[in-house]
Amino acid sequence: MNRFLVFLIIILLSAGCVNKNNTAKRVPLAKAGDMILYLDQVPSMIQEGASKDDSTAFIQNFINRWAKKELVFQKAKDNLSPELKSEIETQLEETRTDLVIYQYQRQMMLERMDTIVTDAEMENYYSANQSSFMLNSNIVKALFIKLSFETPSIGRIRTLARSNDQTDLQQLETLCYQFAEKFDDFNEEWVPLNRILIELNENIENQENFLKRTSFFESNDSTDIYMVSIRDYRLRSTLAPFEYVREDIKRIIWNNRRFEFIQALENGIYNDAIKENNFRIY
């Protein structure tokens, strides 16, 4: 084993005990071209209990990767045309500018922007923009159950699944948690009908007629029985229920508020610069 690397492992393992304010001379590990890799640049990723061989391999691989990257970078830097170098500098400066602006905007939003979106705001937005919330798919509130043919009390489960009585539904839940291969309760949540049809492995050609005529549907294959109890539905091209689009509305309001805040921030800085004679056009 390379003695230097063994020595390096010992240094790294004890590095956590060294005072971070220590101003001792940096320890060089490797040199690639005109760049030097120092000990403090090696991430402390040697896990406690790792063998010396594993630690040595990690350090050697890290040094090799660093060297390859640095050597390729230096070769590229030395051989790029002046035009490309200039283009890169422009892109770097634009990226730096965008990043600084983004972080400042983010800081100002955290400090000054109202981030709370109330139910009243969402309901008002929903009422004023109903044409934007038309459904593009059929949605349902439903129960989906998948049972093996060998499941006991299938008849009882079938009866309970058809019921709207809360006590029956609690019994159904207990039985399904015991015996069902899958039990999805969407009684209180709107979901796309296609999400359930995928589980059924059924191709319903006319979903609208299916929903209008069906409150309970059952099918089977060679091993399992599938039951769907549909409690409520909304058809595509009709207005989506508020609760179905609630989170979308919240996101829209927040994004609109964010856009307005950033615009006001930029305009305020711009107007202040004009007043203070920090901006002029020659």
Per-residue confidence (pLDDT) for residue 8, from 0 to 100? 57
Q: Can you give the pLDDT at residue 108?
A: 96
Q: What is the pLDDT of residue 5?
A: 56
Q: What does each C-alpha distance from 138 to 134, 149, 189, 233 come to in angstroms?
A: 11, 30, 14, 7
Q: Which domains does the chain have, with CATH numbers?
A: 3-79 (no CATH), 135-234 (3.10.50)
Amino acid at residue number 260: E
As to burial, measured by CB atoms within 10 angstroms (0-12 exposed, 13-18 middle, 19+ buried), residue 154 is middle
Give whole-number Cα distances, 282 to 53, 279, in Å.
67, 10
* pLDDT value at residue 23: 45
Residue 90 DSSP code: H
The reported pLDDT for the residue numbered 4 is 56
Question: Other CB atoms closer than 10 Å to residue 59's CB: what's the count?
Answer: 21
User: Residue 185: beta bridge partners?
Assistant: 143
What pLDDT score does 50 carry?
60
Q: What is the pLDDT of residue 43?
A: 74
pLDDT the model gives residue 202: 76
Kindly report the CA angle at 57 between 56 and 60, in degrees rounded to 5?
Answer: 85
DSSP-assigned states of every residue in 167-233: HHHHHHHHHHHHH-SEEEEEEEEEEEHHHHHHHHT---S-HHHHHHH-SEEEEE-SSEEEEEEEEEE
**142 Cβ neighbours under 8 A, 6+ residues apart:** 186, 187, 191, 196, 228, 229, 230, 231
d(CA 250, CA 240): 15
pLDDT at res. 249: 98
Q: Which two tokens stand for residue 228?
A: 């769907």
Question: Which residues are within 8 A (CB) of 144 and not within 5 positions of it... i.e. 6 or more apart?
Answer: 182, 183, 184, 186, 196, 199, 200, 226, 227, 228
Tens-binned pLDDT, residue by residue, of the chain (282 aa): 455 555 555 555 555 444 445 545 888 889 998 899 988 887 765 555 566 777 778 888 889 999 999 999 999 999 999 999 999 999 999 999 999 999 999 999 999 999 899 999 999 999 999 999 999 999 999 999 999 988 988 999 999 999 989 999 999 999 999 999 999 999 889 999 999 998 887 788 899 999 999 999 999 888 899 999 999 999 999 999 999 999 999 999 999 999 999 999 999 999 999 999 998 888
Q: Which residues contact 270 (CB under 8 A, 6 or more apart)?
A: 279
> Model-level pTM?
0.72
Q: Give the helix/strand (H/E) hosting 143.
A: strand 139-148
CB 199, CB 209: distance < 8 Å: no
